[in-house]
Amino acid sequence: MPVSDQNPLVDQLREVHTEALERLGQVSDLTALDGWRVHYLGRKGALTQVIRGIGTLPTAQRPEVGQVSNEVKSALEEAFEAQVGAIKQAKLAKTLSRERVDVTLPGYPVSLGRLHPSTQTLREITAIFGEMGFQVFDSREVESDYYNFELLNIPPYHPARDMWDTFYINERVVLRTHTSPGQIRAMQAFHPDPIRVILPGMCYRYEAITARSEIMFHQVEGLAVGENITMADLKGVLVNFARRMYGAERQVRFRCSHFPFTEPSVEVDMDCIVCNGDGCPLCKQTGWLEILGAGMVHPAVLRNGGYDPERFNGFAFGMGPERIMMQKYGIDDIRYFFSNDLRFLEQFG
């Protein structure tokens, strides 16, 4: 008979071993597993309890208990580690199957931003004039009263100021009410050289906001200065612009008008893009749509820009891209442009 058969502690150790392995097989989460470890391998655990009884054995039997208890201990520790690995593995497999990614599925579409409709129109206008040799000249949005009015031949207290409702920052500084002060800045920058520029930018007016008027809007100013510029040049450039912007078949007419900074002054109309001149609600039955104001640069303005009006002359024009778009796309309320409603903005581009 093997020695262990006569050694009760060794028998107990073997029982603990068997029982521990059996229980371990039933443990399926890490918390329970830790409980198992404390119960069998802990300082006051089942193994330790058995070994405590060693003093009751005859000396000859003691070494065997030590040896077997070490064997059982390392066997249980090994089994414990294996079970930790198995539980973690099972958990991972579960997570992976839940979070599985099907890389063959089509991706979610990324929604692209787009340019604001006003920006698109500004670019279109810039491209057309660019091909006619006009450069873009940037001018400031916060202007002095002097540039916004006086240098453009609009003295203080002159009734012509009623044409522009103005945001005053203080007595001398305004938010520009039109891009025309940029004409003076361009002339001062370029003189005595000839000029061919457009000046796009934001303008501001102290007005009640309605479907037809906003307190902020864009304008594109144009300016040509040289030695032999005539009204025919003005007409040629603007007719060309209207036809490239709205279609080659457009008819354009020039009506006498008045602006303090041009002499003579005109307003430019084209035949209505909806009814081709027959009369409809868009053109208010007139058959014509006004697209811009223009004229030959006033001698006083040329002089203020640094040019000798005896030698130089030029033409200028100003238009509002938002108005142009309203006509082109049948938009009936200017407020859509700056109210940031995506349902409106997404229709362009």
Q: Provide the binding-site residues for ligand DAH, judged by CB under 6 A.
A: 178, 180, 221, 259, 262, 293-295, 316-318
> Smaller CB distance to ligand DAH: residue 262 or 313?
262
Closest distance to ligand DAH from the beta carbon of 178 (Å) = 3
Residue nearest to ligand DAH (CB): 318
Q: Min. distance of Cβ 117 from ligand DAH in angstroms?
A: 21
Task: Please tell me the distance from the alpha carbon of residue 70 to that of residue 113, in angstroms, as a whole number.
Answer: 71
Question: Which residue carries 């509002």 as its tokens?
Answer: 320
Shortest reach from residue 203's CB to ligand DAH, in Å: 7
Q: Which is nearer to ligand DAH, 64 or 233 (CB)?
A: 233
DSSP state, residue 277:
T
Q: What is the 3-state secondary structure (H, E, C) of 21-55?
A: HHHHHHCCCHHHHHHHHHHHHCCCCHHHHHHHHHH
Tokens of 273: 């893009």
Nearer to ligand DAH, 37 or 323 (CB): 323
Residue 204: CB minimum distance to ligand DAH, A = 11
DSSP annotation of 109 reads P
Assign 182 to helix, strand or coil.
helix
Nearer to ligand DAH, 16 or 187 (CB): 187
- Strand pairing report for 313-319 and 252-259: unpaired
Round to whole Å and give the CA distance between 332 and 212: 8
Q: Closest approach of Cβ 177 to ligand DAH, in Å?
A: 7
**Cβ of residue 234: shortest distance to ligand DAH, in angstroms?**
9
One-letter amino acid for residue 321 of the chain: P
Strand 195-204, strand 135-136: pairing: parallel
Q: Which is nearer to ligand DAH, 39 or 303 (CB)?
A: 303
Closer Cβ to ligand DAH, 101 or 208, answer by number: 208
CB atoms within 10 A of CB 298: 21
Smallest distance, ligand DAH to C-beta of residue 259, A: 4
Q: 178 or 218: whose CB is closer to ligand DAH? A: 178
Q: Which H or E run includes 17?
A: helix 8-26
Q: Which stretches of the chain are assigned E, i.e. beta strand?
A: 135-136, 142-144, 173-175, 195-204, 216-226, 252-259, 262-271, 288-297, 313-319
Backbone angles phi, psi at 78, to 5 degrees: -60, -45
Q: How far is the CB of 198 from ligand DAH (least distance, A)?
A: 10
Give the nearer residue to ligand DAH in terms of CB position, either 294 or 331. 294
Tokens for 73, please give them: 């201990």
As given in the structure block, the two tokens for residue 199 are 């000046």
Hunting for tokens 């009623």 — which residue is that? 162
